[in-house]
Structure 1
Amino acid sequence: MPDPERSMPRTVSRRRLLATGLALAAAGPAPAAEAVPEDGRYARFLARGPFADPARFPVGVWLQSPANARAWAGIGINLYVNLWKGPTAAQLDALAAAGMPVIAAQNEIALSPRYRDTVIGWMAHPDEPDNAQPLPGGGYGAPVPPEEMQARYAAMRARDPSRPVLLNLGQGVTWDGWFGRGARTDHPEDYPRYIEGADIVSFDVYPVTSRHAPVAGRIELIGRGVQRLRGWARAGQGVWAVIGASRIGNATRRPNPAELRAQAFMAIAHGAQGIVWFAHQFAPRFVEAAPLREPDTRAALAAVNAEIAGLAPVLGRGRPEPGLRPQAGAGVTVRALAHDGALWLICINDRPAPTRLRLRLPGAMRGVEPATGVRVASDAAGRITLGFAGYQPRILRLG
């Protein structure tokens, strides 16, 4: 059974720390996201294996049993990330039989040529090295120094220079006042140095189920964290987001279907190149694959993953249109991509309140919102106004 303190993204509730009431800087409206240059080992990751097909966008699940691989694949998961007390030969054989690739810890078993097509990347350990680390006798010490993570990365690259290393960081990426970093709280300057120890970098924050005022309910923190990682990353690094799909440590709250969709597209609209669902539940009782046991969550997750899969060719091959900027003050992020003769707008309201966005398109255009079938059109000068509920994503295809 997974150990919530040592082997997966820790939530605030699991660390049993008290809220400090520290203020969090507002995310604010963001410019259109641009593609991270595709060179280096992340580009090779995209060029070989399951994600060489631009119709596949990485949609992973964190630390799940291989016995459930087919069930997860049935709702649109195409990647396992990390394995409990593994990887073992039995785990990798089960994933290979299910056709499920994995990013796993690097060991002699996983390095075997037998698993070359199953193990497509390496997981840096420990998870969330930027957080205060548990001490053998109890309590917490300092975070793992960035230089140590860089050294571990170099050692993994020396053993296998062909596959990328994924490093997952904690909520300090988006919340400078996250006191779970101990003495390194309010030190965001650490993160560019951590990122030097990875080819793909991700972070986790769970605003829907968090009980801490600076984070609770603030879905925009997912977008803020993605933007910060993209700003810190070097050319060619991949940026992913780990997103909550369960109660985690909140016995009375879990994401509803609208919140699942909002979290995923908050990451994607801000430029995430992959997402990983966190599916464990720790309260009121432990459930490893909670969404698979909840019919409404399972159906909602399948719908969001299917929508992302439908957009994968646009996300993988679309040409960024950085000149298209959202109206200042509207609080909407717009990721504009040209693909196959159409202009795609991946939009997200970064705020909990309704808003209206006015855009000036290159010319008169009309199109559709594929998720709803709603038709939209600009005026002759290319002006268009779009309405948004709080944290609502809208994806439009225009031509």
Structure 2
Amino acid sequence: MRCTTWLVIAAMLAAVGHAVQAQELVLNGDFESPSAGNANQPAGFTPGQAGKSRQATLTWESPGCHSAKCIAVETATSDDLGYWQTVLPVKPETTYRFSLQYRTRQPHAAPAPTGDPLYNEGSPGGPNIEFGMSPEDPAKAARPADWSDMPVALSPLGGIYLPPAVQWSRFDHLLTTRPGQTDLIVKLRIFCYAQKAWFDHLSLKESGDVADIAPPRLRAGQWVAQDTTPPCASDPRPVPNARVDSCAVIRAGFRDSGSGIDVKSVQVLLDNQEVTDRATISDEGFSLSPATPFENGVHRVEVMVADQAGNRGNRLTWRFGVGRQPAHRPSVREKSLRLDGEPFFPIGIYAYACHPADGRFHREDLRQAADAGFNFVLNTIETADGLDQEQAAGMMGVLNVTADIKKCVDPVSARKALFEDGQGRFRDHPAVLGYWADDPEHLPDHLTVMKHAQAAIQEMDAAKPIIFAISDLPKLAECIPYADILVSYRYPVPHYHPQMIHGWSLAVFYRQVQDKPIWFLSQAIDLGYAPSFQSMEKFRPTPAEIRAMAFYSLVLGIQGYALYANLLNPRDYPDEWSEALRIATQIRHLSGPLASGRIEPGAVLRPAVSAAAIKVRHLVLDGLHTLIAVNLSAAHVAAVWEFPAGAQAVALFEDRAMPAKANHVEDVFAPWQVHVYQWWSDDQARSQRTGNAR
């Protein structure tokens, strides 16, 4: 499949019908007039730098966008932050339309030669537009940081990242001033990658209407309304790995938000034998009472369901024991984790509301997380009761042994610290998936204690993996031998572009970790920087950015996903909580292709205007094509997808589909938007649906 794209950044503003043209507040927005004090820079604009390097190049160049002059910013390293700044008069609590023309260097520039390792790996992003204001009291201005020297930052904190654009492109933005605000500081910036951008035709005008900027429009007939949101099967009973009596009733729940559950589609397998005709099935779930008592041993259940529109949901599988206690059997094989011998894509959550041993724990939050699709919990500490509650919710737990490893100074102390006094004493609990440590590279004499901890775990519980979350990248290589799974986590927002989860973290892991699974612990609710920058925002990333980073990590090929969301809960952060649940549900549905799909090299995004804004991964499993596409920018991007063999794709989870098989289709990406497309290779493949990994 080929894809060519073009960029339409925020199109034209909806007509406001003013009888009188709004006053232009940028006096030299075309950059034609020189400064009275410096003939080498435009009037009304001053160059500036921040950060560590301060080697950015700020120039006044020719030609511009259908004009004689423009300004440019060029950075050579990832530590450079350069900008052109202007200060404009504004009125408090007033809406303004900001616009400019810009273009960038070709998107596939060479990596930055200095700065954070591999920071520019992949391709650089576009320019950054930062808005701010002067403080009423200069003493209350924010202290300059490496990533911002704005005295009072306006939304969004950290600025607006535009897509790369190899041709002159327009950007429009609406902003509303704060109470008491009388000036607007605008900084046209490049930061956190080697890039060059040119700017022209800067404009700020009062808007008489708080109108949204119209997105690009598609030609009629590209997509039609159709239920493309699959149903979910969840809440398995008996709970996974439970030990039950021989007459236990098997059941699970169904839910669907569209055309409704197709009860005739339900399939129930018990120990690989079809038992659907013995089950009681409704649109809310199924139940199955054994015709004769279960034999002693471990039993496996598999459930599949579709909706009235033909969308097949997640494949729900679990095990329970009669007369014996089952335990998870994880195994690391070929850079992936298998569970009980089956493909498995882990989806984890680190949130105090889901930590049973934490005072902020809410059982209902844990239940919601499990129903949504999260399948394991990263906790600060586990207890027997906490593991019981996780198992009851259908979740697994990984034992946090960071504090225990610190005491592993020799083999004897390692066994005692881990398995007599520490978290390893819960190793036989049926909910335990493995052992994890966050930043063990920061422990004293870290290589010695890692070595002894690994030896003790391999002696006492060799079946379970050791999982290390590493943030100190210069120490990554030396830690790799002591873990079975490596977790990448360094958080860019609000300092840097969200795409820096690659260059700032995952790129280093992929280069150094050759034969072990790489998981990504993705940023969600963090402590935030808003107060120190006098920002009105509670924190970043926004829900849209959380989603973009999650799916970009999937595009990058991670073998497991987890959400770092320590403070996240539905009471304080309802929008972010809803987004987290939505992400988990959708990743669960994609777990089959993610765990077992092969990469399809035909999905290529052809360079055109701003192809670098969209990151793509194309997977094929059993004839089903899955194309994950993420707009890593804060502007609208339009695209044309081309299918050389023809396809009738659906936009999964969006309730729209192509009306017929075609060789191309248009689509639009909103800022930070994710589209997941699916289509079948041929008609025969349509009947070979095999469901998803659990």
- How far apart, CA to CA, are the structure 2 residues paired with 1:290 and 1:223? 27
Higher helix share: 1
The answer to whether the Cα contact below 8 Å between 1:245 and 1:278 also exists between their aligned partners in 2 is yes
Distance 1:43 1:291, change over 3 A: farther
Alignment partner for residue 621 of structure 2, among 339, 342, 347? 339
Matched, 1:59 2:348: yes
Match of 2:239 in 1: none
The answer to whether the Cα contact below 8 Å between 2:399 and 2:424 also exists between their aligned partners in 1 is no
- How far apart, CA to CA, are the structure 2 residues paired with 1:347 and 1:72? 30
Match of 1:391 in 2: 672
Which structure has the larger Rg over C-alpha atoms?
A: 2
Greater Cα shift, 366-375 or 105-114: 105-114
SS at structure 1 position matched to 2:605: coil
CA offsets 1:288-335 (integer angstroms, 9 cap, x no match): x44553222222222221111221222123222134333247223221
Q: What letter corresponds to residue 229 of structure 1 in structure 2? A: F
Match of 1:43 in 2: 333
- How far apart, CA to CA, are the structure 1 residues paired with 2:565 and 2:671? 24
Alignment partner for residue 499 of structure 2, among 214, 217, 220? 220
- How far apart, CA to CA, are the structure 2 residues paired with 1:275 and 1:295? 21
- How far apart, CA to CA, are the structure 1 residues paired with 2:514 and 2:451? 14
Match of 1:231 in 2: 511
Q: What letter corresponds to residue 300 of structure 1 in structure 2? A: E
Match of 1:99 in 2: 394
Alignment partner for residue 163 of structure 1, among 461, 464, 481? 464
- 1:68-79 matches, within 5 Å, as 68=362, 70-75=364-369, 76=372, 77-79=374-376
Q: What letter corresponds to residue 669 of structure 2 in structure 1? A: F
Distance 1:147 1:327, change over 3 A: farther
SS at structure 1 position matched to 2:541: coil
- How far apart, CA to CA, are the structure 2 residues paired with 1:27 and 1:259? 20
- How far apart, CA to CA, are the structure 2 residues paired with 1:152 and 1:362? 54
The answer to whether the Cα contact below 8 Å between 2:350 and 2:566 also exists between their aligned partners in 1 is no
Match of 2:583 in 1: 304
Unmatched runs of 5 consecutive residues or more in structure 2: 1-49, 54-78, 81-115, 125-329, 402-417, 531-537, 681-694
- How far apart, CA to CA, are the structure 1 residues paired with 2:511 and 2:664? 30
CA offsets 1:79-102 (integer angstroms, 9 cap, x no match): 111333xx3333333333433211
CA offsets 1:271-295 (integer angstroms, 9 cap, x no match): 12222222224xxxxxxx4455322
The answer to whether the Cα contact below 8 Å between 1:147 and 1:193 also exists between their aligned partners in 2 is no
The alpha carbon displacement at 1:52 in A equals 3.8
Matched, 1:88 2:377: no
Distance 1:362 1:88, change over 3 A: same
Q: What letter corresponds to residue 432 of structure 2 in structure 1? A: V
Matched, 1:371 2:675: no
- How far apart, CA to CA, are the structure 2 residues paired with 1:376 and 1:144? 59
CA offsets 1:189-224 (integer angstroms, 9 cap, x no match): x4233222211111223333x4x4xx2xx1101233
The alpha carbon displacement at 1:234 in A equals 2.4
Q: What letter corresponds to residue 678 of structure 2 in structure 1? A: R
The alpha carbon displacement at 1:157 in A equals 2.5
SS at structure 2 position matched to 1:73: helix
Q: What letter corresponds to residue 338 of structure 2 in structure 1? A: A
- 1:1-399 matches, within 5 Å, as 20=52, 22-23=79-80, 25-29=119-123, 41-43=331-333, 46-49=337-340, 52=342, 54=344, 57-61=346-350, 64-66=354-356, 67-68=361-362, 70-75=364-369, 76=372, 77-84=374-381, 87-105=382-400, 107-108=418-419, 110-111=423-424, 115-124=428-437, 127-130=438-441, 149-150=450-451, 152-170=453-471, 172-173=472-473, 187=474, 190-208=475-493, 210=494, 212=495, 215=496, 218-224=497-503, 225-235=505-515, 237-251=516-530, 252-281=538-567, 289-291=568-570, 293-328=572-607, 330-331=611-612, 332-356=614-638, 361-376=643-658, 382=663, 386-399=667-680
The answer to whether the Cα contact below 8 Å between 2:366 and 2:393 also exists between their aligned partners in 1 is no
Distance 1:392 1:337, change over 3 A: same
- How far apart, CA to CA, are the structure 2 residues paired with 1:228 and 1:322? 23
Q: What letter corresponds to residue 207 of structure 1 in structure 2? A: P
The answer to whether the Cα contact below 8 Å between 1:269 and 1:347 also exists between their aligned partners in 2 is yes
Q: What letter corresponds to residue 509 of structure 2 in structure 1? A: L
Match of 1:13 in 2: none
SS at structure 2 position matched to 1:264: helix
Distance 1:385 1:391, change over 3 A: same
Q: What letter corresponds to residue 167 of structure 1 in structure 2? A: F
Greater Cα shift, 384-393 or 265-274: 384-393
The answer to whether the Cα contact below 8 Å between 2:528 and 2:540 also exists between their aligned partners in 1 is no
TM-score (norm 1): 0.69
The answer to whether the Cα contact below 8 Å between 2:555 and 2:617 also exists between their aligned partners in 1 is yes
Distance 1:153 1:20, change over 3 A: farther
The alpha carbon displacement at 1:70 in A equals 4.8
Unmatched runs of 5 consecutive residues or more in structure 1: 1-17, 31-39, 134-142, 174-186, 282-288
The alpha carbon displacement at 1:110 in A equals 5.0
The answer to whether the Cα contact below 8 Å between 1:325 and 1:359 also exists between their aligned partners in 2 is no
Q: What letter corresponds to residue 333 of structure 1 in structure 2? A: K
Greater Cα shift, 152-161 or 364-373: 152-161
- How far apart, CA to CA, are the structure 1 residues paired with 2:385 and 2:429? 15
* Percentage of identical aligned residues: 24
The alpha carbon displacement at 1:265 in A equals 0.4
SS at structure 2 position matched to 1:250: coil
- How far apart, CA to CA, are the structure 2 residues paired with 1:389 and 1:26? 24
The answer to whether the Cα contact below 8 Å between 2:605 and 2:616 also exists between their aligned partners in 1 is yes
User: Number of aligned pairs?
Assistant: 326
SS at structure 2 position matched to 1:259: helix
Q: Which has the higher contact order (CA 8 A, sep 6+)?
A: 1
Higher strand share: 2
SS at structure 2 position matched to 1:241: strand
- How far apart, CA to CA, are the structure 1 residues paired with 2:571 and 2:561? 18
- How far apart, CA to CA, are the structure 2 residues paired with 1:370 and 1:361? 17
The alpha carbon displacement at 1:163 in A equals 0.8
The alpha carbon displacement at 1:27 in A equals 3.9
CA offsets 1:123-164 (integer angstroms, 9 cap, x no match): 13xx22445x6xxxxxxxxx8655754554344323322111
- How far apart, CA to CA, are the structure 1 residues paired with 2:427 and 2:483? 25
Distance 1:280 1:58, change over 3 A: closer
- How far apart, CA to CA, are the structure 2 residues paired with 1:311 and 1:305? 10
Q: What letter corresponds to residue 611 of structure 2 in structure 1? A: A
- How far apart, CA to CA, are the structure 2 residues paired with 1:384 and 1:298? 33
The alpha carbon displacement at 1:337 in A equals 0.9
Greater Cα shift, 113-122 or 312-321: 113-122
